Each structure stands twice: as structure tokens, then as C-alpha cells.
Amino acid sequence: MSATNRVVVDPITRIEGHLRIEAETDADGHITRASSAGTMVRGIEIILRGRDPRDAWAYAQRICGVCTLVHAIASIRSVEDALKYPIPPNAQLIRNLMIAAQYVHDHVMHFYHLHALDWVDVVSALKADPKATSQLAQSISSYAKSSPGYFADVQKKLKGFVEGGQLGIFANGYWGHPAYKLPPEANLMAVAHYLDALAWQRDVVKLHAIFGGKNPHPNFVVGGVPCAISIDPSHPGHGNGPHYRGGQEATAVSMVGLQTVQNVISQMREFVDQVYLPDTLAIAGFYKDWAARGEGLGNFLCYGDFPTKDMGSPESFFLPRGAILNRDLSTIHPVDLDDPQQIQEYVSHSWYKYSVGDEKGLHPYAGETEFNYTGPKPPYEHLDTDAKYSWMKSPRWNGKPMEVGPLARVLMLYAKGHEQTRELVGYTLKTLGVGTEALFSTLGRTAARTLESKIIVEAMQGWFDSLMANIKAGDLKTFNEKQWDPSTWPKHAQGAGFTEAPRGGLSHWIVIDDALISNYQAVVPSTWNAGPRDAAGLPGAYEAALQDRHTLYDPKQPIEILRTIHSFDPCIACAVHVTDPDGEELIKVKVR
Ligand code: NFE
Ligand code: MG
């Protein structure tokens, strides 16, 4: 072995989009330098120029099909911020419910379908004793599906896959790798819950369909939410059923629809409490060494979300806004999205160019999206990571690389003294027998996603109860109409729309001139986390995390890289905002 090897993982699987990791290792397999590259480019920001701001959400929402609604939310909020339009309280509550439902849905799917197989050896589950699996399951949860017969059935199904040479959804794992530590029974339990979670997620997306007409990509509207509410008890719900009266009532959300929303919240809560949380703790107990690596930057950023008043009152947010630096939970630094010095994007290592020079950062209102591909023609062996090497930009806050996402949010709640968070974090650390420093790790990041799901699903009940109370008091308003006349708009306006997406702080920045979009920039969670080094050479969050105490047991099966990268829940479709591997123009868009 030479002194330095370079391990390339491209594409990283079980994520959305195309991510390439190049890791340099020493003779012992220890990662000494890691580089994260987005290998595709998209042009949504460019496509949006020249369009009507009220339509932007429908385009922006197509940035991603995983976080199916967050880009629409950020977009309508950017327009509302630019034009100073308030929305009715019911719309705020319904948006909160929709964003929150996305978290719980997305986090559960990430855990079971995208991340679990880094920790769970599917093939080992064949060796499990269904009776012992049942005992294990019943010892950690009251979940009803836990009989020996249930686990025997799952095992039989799995055996069928393996014997037929058809692992199907379970193909391509590093099965049998010594890094897998769970006993066969824990593996079988997790595989059973993998299949359960697939069925569960089909049910819980109903919430989005009820308020937004469909999923993925529910409908939104600048000024509120697009669903009317009907309290006519004879009205059965959506559609043209026997009680069809035409007009608004035909499509309004009825009491039946609202009851379904309540059922979905209960179903989400049950799965989080009885399956997701106990599984996370049970699996984490076998991987405590991962509580001591993968920390990364130690800097965390949250825009905050879930207003109880309006978007202009961050102090009313359920998830607080702020920045934490160098792991110091005693100080929350204030964050201002409009301050041109605070949030800037760099392109010194990205395949873009800036009119002001590639070493400078640009605030998103002044942001530029100009392609400048200087890399090798694919397929290539290595990227020159000292030069430009990614289609992602490098966002920075006050010049610092920041981690965003569930861990950042849980730390922010913790630092603010949020009681439930403090209790849950304390309980988790105690159960695992690890100290507070374990939060800053690969395991901490994954556990934070689970804890956040519990915190958010309980908050959903509160928002739903408030919505029902408003409705019972006669307030059915979900939309303000007045902004629909562009002749009332200022000649020039700009706004920042933000949300906390499942993967972290998301912001869309719009500049409106003569009622059309003159600039549109999206700075998204996976860009913060997966972006390349900046002009100062500071690594992004993935890079820094991989550089923290990772040793590859077998460079040909780099499961260690997958564990830490998946702990961030990457989405590169979001991060690079129509793939064109040949570098040719894929689509020409005519603008007015
Ligand atoms: Ni495509 Fe997304 C989320 C956004 S990305 S999944 O959550 O924004 O990081
Ligand atoms: Mg962008």
C-alpha cells in the first residue's frame, strides 16, 4: 500500500441524487482528507427568472421529490416577505401541520429505508429465532406486531428473496461485513419494521393530500393555503359525492377530512413512540463507538420554523432561530437573513463563476448562477480537489461553515432550555450510557432525527387542536386575496423565504422588478452540509465529519463512509437545485 490511497465512492447509494466522496487514507486506512462533490447540475434558479412570483412555488417545488413541499413553502414565503403580505392564522397552522408531517414521514423513511441497512445486516436476520425476536421486541416496546408468528412470516418472506437470488430492495449491501454488530434477532426485528414503515408511509401522506390536494408536490398559494374549510356536516369530504353542491364546497376540507388528519397524527405518533424511537435506542446500543466519531464542524445553524404568530416574529417559532459555534451550547448567536454579511455563498471550489471574482462570497439577493465547468470529462478517475470539484456552492455564515439539520435543531432547542428536549436527550444519553459529547457524532446526528420526530409529532397535535378551536369559533379563513393585483406591488421588492426542511435550514431569496422575478436563489440544507471547501480552504460539514476518526476496514467496502454520510440524510437534487452528463445545454427556456 502506498502512503496515501484515494477511495472513491460514486455514486453514494440510498440517497437522492448524485454524490461523490473522495477520501484519502493513510497506510492504516485512516481518512486524512475527504472531499464531497455534487456531480450533477440543475437550473431551477435560472428557469425562474422572468416569471410571475406567484407561480414560482410550482417550479421551485420541483427541485426535489423527496422533501416534496419545502421548496414550495420557502418560495411562497419569499414572495410574502417581499410584498409584506400576512397570511391568516389557519393558514399558518395548516402549513405547520404540512411541514411537520413531512418531517415525520421523511425521518422514518430515512431511518428504515436509507440508513438502517448501514447498521442492520439483512442476511443475518435469516439466522434469527422468531421466538427470541418476539421476546426482544416485546421487551422494548408495546407495539402490537410482535408475535413469534409475525417474525416467522417476515423471515420466510426474506428467505424467499435470498433463495431466489432476488434480494431486490436489499441487494448490494455489504452483508457479512464485520462492522455489523447486531445479533440476528435485532436484525430480523429491524427488517420487519423496514417493511412495516413502507406500508405506514403510504397512509400518513394523506395529510398532504387533504390540505394540498395531492402528494408528492401538494398545492400551495401565496397568501395562505389553497384549501377551503367546510363545516357542513352533510358534506362528506373531497370530491363530487352524493352531497355534491358544486362550487367551493365540492373541494373544501370537511370534518371528515379533518378527522382523517387527526387519525394520521395519531398513527404517526404511535409509530414514532412504539417503533422508531425504541429501534433507534436498541440499535444504537450496539454501535456506541459511533458516538465518538463523525462530529464535523461543531457549528450549527437554524433559521427556525413553525411560527405561532407570523414569519416576521422569530421569537414565536417553535423551533428556534440561531447559530451555535464550536459546540458551545451556552450561547445562541442571532441570525439575520437580510444582513448581506451573514449568509454568503462561495464558488471557489464549485463549477460556477462570479462577476466579482470567484474568491468572494455573495449574499443570495446578489447571488449569481453562472456555470463554469473546469473538471475532467466524465467518466473520470479522480477530481482535482484543490481546484473546482463540485456543482454545489459553499454557503457560509459569517465566513463559517455550518451544519444544518435535525442535530442543529435539537441542539438549539436544548440550548434554549426546551424541557421536553432536555428530558429526551437526557433519557437517550442515559439509556446508551454516553456523555453529552456523544451528541456531536454520527450516532448523535441519527438519534437527533429520531428525537426531533417525537418532539414534532407531539407539537402537531397542539397545532391541530388550535386549528379545530379556530374552526369551532367560526374562523374558516385560510387565504388573503388582496395580493393578487400586481399593480399594487412596489416596482422593486426583495424577500427571503425560509423553512426548516427535514434536512435543515432552507431559504429562497427572491428579487422582484416590475412584477417579475429578476433574481432567484435557493440556499438549501444539503448545500450547507455537502458543499465543498470555501475560498479559505475550510471544509464543508460532510468533509469535516469524515475527517473525524474514520478508519476504513476494507477500502473496497467503505461502510464507514456510508454511515457518516447517511447520518446527514443527503439530498443532492436539492443541493444542486435536469441532469446533463455531457455538459450540453439540456433545456432552453424562453422568458418574457
Ligand atoms: Ni431533496 Fe431537501 C430537505 C431541501 S435538501 S430533500 O429536507 O431543501 O437538503
Ligand atoms: Mg442555489
Q: Does residue 97 line the site of ligand 1, with CB under 6 A?
A: no
Is residue 125 domain-resident?
Answer: yes
Residues sharing a CB contact under 8 Å with residue 460, sequence separation 6 or more, in sequence order: 96, 97, 100, 101, 104, 265, 268, 269
- Quick check: is 129 in a domain? yes
Closest ligand by atom to 367 CA: 2
Structural contact between residues 332 and 342, judged by C-beta atoms closer than 8 angstroms: no
Neighbours of 277 (CB within 10 A): 21
Question: How many independent structural domains does the chain possess?
Answer: 1
Dihedral, CA of residue 149, residue 151, residue 152 and residue 157, to nearest 10 = 130
Q: Does residue 243 lie in a domain region? A: no
- Please state, in angstroms and rounded to a whole number, the distance separating the CA atoms of residues 124 and 187: 7
451 CA distance to ligand 2 middle (Å): 29
pLDDT tens digit string along 273-287?
Answer: 999 999 999 999 999
Q: Is the pLDDT of residue 34 over 70?
A: yes
Does 154 map to a domain?
yes
Task: Answer yes or no: is 150 within a domain.
Answer: yes
Provide the pLDDT for residue 249: 55
DSSP code string of 138-189: HHH---S---HHHHHHHHHHHHHHHHTT--GGGTT--TT-TT----HHHHHH
Please tell me the predicted confidence (pLDDT) of residue 404. 98
DSSP character for 355?
A: T
Ligand nearest to the CA of 522: 2
| Catalytic residue IDs | 16, 64, 67, 71, 503, 526, 571, 574
> What would the grid cell of residue 390 be?
463540485
Helix, coil or strand: residue 495: strand
Q: Quick one: pLDDT at residue 519? A: 97
d(CA 274, CA 143): 5
Q: In the numeric block, which cell numbers belong to residue 3?
A: 502512503
The residue whose CA has the least distance to atom 8 of ligand 1 is: 524
360 found inside a domain: no
Q: Is residue 503 part of a domain?
A: no
By three-state DSSP, how is residue 322 classified?
strand
Cα 525 to ligand 1 centre (Å): 6
Q: Summarize pLDDT for 35-50 with one digit per residue, the tens.
A: 999 988 878 999 999 9
Which of 565, 548, 575, 538 is closest to 402 using CA atoms?
538
Query: DSSP character for 486?
Result: G
Between the CA of 571 and the centroid of ligand 1 the distance, in Å, is: 6
Burial (0-12, 13-18, 19+ Cβ within 10 Å), 52: middle
Written as one letter, the residue type at 502 is P
Mean pLDDT over all residues of the chain? 92
Please state the pTM of the whole predicted model: 0.94
What pLDDT score does 163 carry? 81
Structural domain of 127 = 118-183
List, in sequence order, the alpha helices (H) in 237-366. Answer: 255-271, 277-284
User: Is omega for the bond preceding 178 within 30 degrees of 0, making it cis?
Assistant: no
Answer yes or no: is 149 within a domain.
Answer: yes
Is 449:501 a contact under the CB 8 Å cutoff?
Answer: no
Question: What per-residue confidence (pLDDT) applies to 250?
Answer: 60
